[in-house]
Amino acid sequence: MAETRATSTEGLVAGEIKIGAISGYRAMPVHGEKFPVVLVVQEIYGVHEYIKDICRRFAKQGYLAIAPEFFARQGDVSSLKTVQEMLPVVSTVPDSQVMEDLDAAVVWAKNSGKGDPLRLVVAGFSWGGRIVWLYCAHNPHLKAGVAWYGPVVKPATELQPRHPIDVAGELKCPVLGLYGGEDAGIPNDTVERMQAALAAAGRGSEIHLYAGMPHAFHADYRPSYRKEAADDGWRRMLDWFRRHGVA
């Protein structure tokens, strides 16, 4: 991993929190209240510095950003070096548990007195991109979601019984998917199937496919980072949230 971009905490309240039984990270402006709330769903690497910085970037835009540590009950992946080492932990995390932890983060935001639960959105990256689709089918109070290159078609398992393609017709809010055309782990034909399912559902969700872009093109601490696509995707995300009544 390369050195992660660091967004200043000046003008922010940022740091660790407890969300029910698990830990998390939050960032928000120092002054004000009733901020729009964005749930930030981690990559497979956990709530590491990149995800914390994503929270700070959102806070600079006036959000209360919350990133729960979803793997906390199953194990600590922060000291592990490879995805292969992390999979034995990550593969034991039930989708139902993740949905419950996201619900708990919404409650935390409401109880803090700083978050406006009526302006609630979710954004996730890679592992978390898949979760965005699922949570947007789960929580009827969401205004919008943005899924960054999360798998849309996978085999069903006991802990992951459904996938984004299965819930395309059940989304409670519009979701914007941001995907790379050269993503080795998410074949274009699966993205096309998801696009067709979204169009058939007619609920206002859409996918933007970046030609020639690899997986994790927003991850600015990794060799996969592509600044132009990353910046464009960030602008599209903020605009998507504004368009759906969050700002």
pLDDT digits (tens, 9 = 90+) for 111-122: 999 999 999 999
pLDDT digits (tens, 9 = 90+) for 124-168: 999 999 999 999 999 999 999 999 999 999 999 999 999 999 999
| Sequence-ordered list of residues with C-beta below 8 angstroms from that of 22, at least 6 positions apart, any chain | 68, 69, 70, 72, 73, 101, 104
**Amino acid type, 98:** V
Contact 90, 63 (CB under 8 A): no
Nearest Cα neighbor of 66 from 93, 47, 50 is 47
Which CATH superfamily does the domain covering 12-243 fall into?
Answer: Alpha/Beta hydrolase fold, catalytic domain (3.40.50.1820)
The number of CA neighbours under 13 Å toward the Cβ of 239 is 6
Contact 34, 64 (CB under 8 A): no
Enter the pTM of the model. 0.95
C-alpha to C-alpha distance for 177 and 194, rounded to whole angstroms: 10
C-alpha to C-alpha distance for 243 and 239, rounded to whole angstroms: 6
| Sequence-ordered list of residues with C-beta below 8 angstroms from that of 235, at least 6 positions apart, any chain | none
Map residue 5 onto helix, strand or coil.
coil
What are the average pLDDT values for consecutive 10-residue runs of the chain, which has 247 residues?
A: 77 97 96 96 94 98 97 76 77 94 97 96 98 98 98 96 98 98 97 98 97 97 96 98 89
pLDDT score recorded for residue 122? 98
Taking residue 119's Cβ as centre, other Cβ atoms within 10 Å add up to: 21
Nearest Cα neighbor of 209 from 223, 229, 224, 184 is 229
